Amino acid sequence: MIRLVALLIVLALPAKAEEVVLGLSKDAVAITATFDGSDILLFGAVKRESPIDLASDLEVIITIAGPTVPVTVRRKERRLGIWVNTDVVEIDAAPSFYAVATTAPLREILTDVEDLRYKISIPRAIRSVGAPMGVTDSENFTTALIRIRAGNDLYQVREGMVDLEESTLFSAAFRLPANLTEGDYNAQIYLTRNGIVVDEYETVIPVKKVGLERWLFNLAHEKPLIYGLMSLAIAIAAGWGASAIFTALRR
């Protein structure tokens, strides 16, 4: 009886005026020994139950977020001629990779309230609850993390890079760098009007090591002794081989 009542309530709810229908150029990303990054194209359409609302422009925001983990950020200062760690802040959760692409500047198509609710911008996607008592500028540590990861292409902001045709068809290309962390990457699409999110859609892109990379990863974590001995043997063989070649060249 309870299930029947719940079903009737759901059926009685009005259908969304606009919904996302999504496609991916790749369903998964494979990290191999020669992996140097990957390009992914996200494309889709806006499904409507009624004619297009011409009163306000429809905008699209697409984000891709890698696995979220804690991060330790240290501040270094030069003292007596050497660099030393002074303050340390533990950021509770930060995506290992994060990219956001939009049809227009983010501030123009998303209000601060909606950004706080959905955590779309890069600073909002990072969670830092607190800092040690002696640190009064903890926000600078988050800014430094964003700057460092942006320099390594791990954090990307691509404003205006989502193509939207006739408020219906959209697409965006993303470049995933070679230094990806293995795991599930969440791709989310947001439709906004007047800065308000009217619909969202989420899908997962698995990023996994395969082939030799997977075998070495499993060996290092499941049988570290064998992995260490094998690494030592390879190092000895490489050293002996280099020495033999150098001796032969001298003759």
Instruction: Map out the domains of the chain as residue ranges.
Output: 15-209, 211-251
Sort strands 196-209 and 68-79 into parallel, antiparallel or unpaired: unpaired
DSSP of the chain: -HHHHHHHHHHHSPPPSEEEEEEES-S-EEE-TT---EEEEEEEEEEESS----SS-EEEEEEEE--EEEEEEEEEEEETTEEEEEEEEEEEEEESSEEEEESS-HHHHS-HHHHHHHT-SHHHHSB-----TT-S-HHHHHHHHHHHHHHTTSEEEETT-SEEETTTEEEEEEEE-SSPPSEEEEEEEEEEETTEEEEEEEEEEEEEE-THHHHHHHHHHH-HHHHHHHHHHHHHHHHHHHHHHHHHHH-
Closest CA to 110 of 69, 150, 146, 59: 59
Please tell me the distance from the alpha carbon of residue 85 to that of residue 101, in angstroms, as a whole number: 35
pLDDT score for 13: 38
How far apart are the C-alpha atoms of 145 and 74, rounded to whole Å? 10
For residues 192 and 218, the model is more confident at: 192
Indicate the range of 48-62, 74-88, 116-130 predicted with least confidence. Answer: 74-88
What is the pTM assigned to this prediction?
0.75
User: Using 50, 70 and 90 to split pLDDT, how confident is the model at 78?
Assistant: confident
Specify whether domain 15-209 bears CATH 2.60.40.3880: yes
* pLDDT tens digit sequence for 119-170: 999 999 998 776 666 666 778 888 999 999 999 999 999 999 999 998 889 9
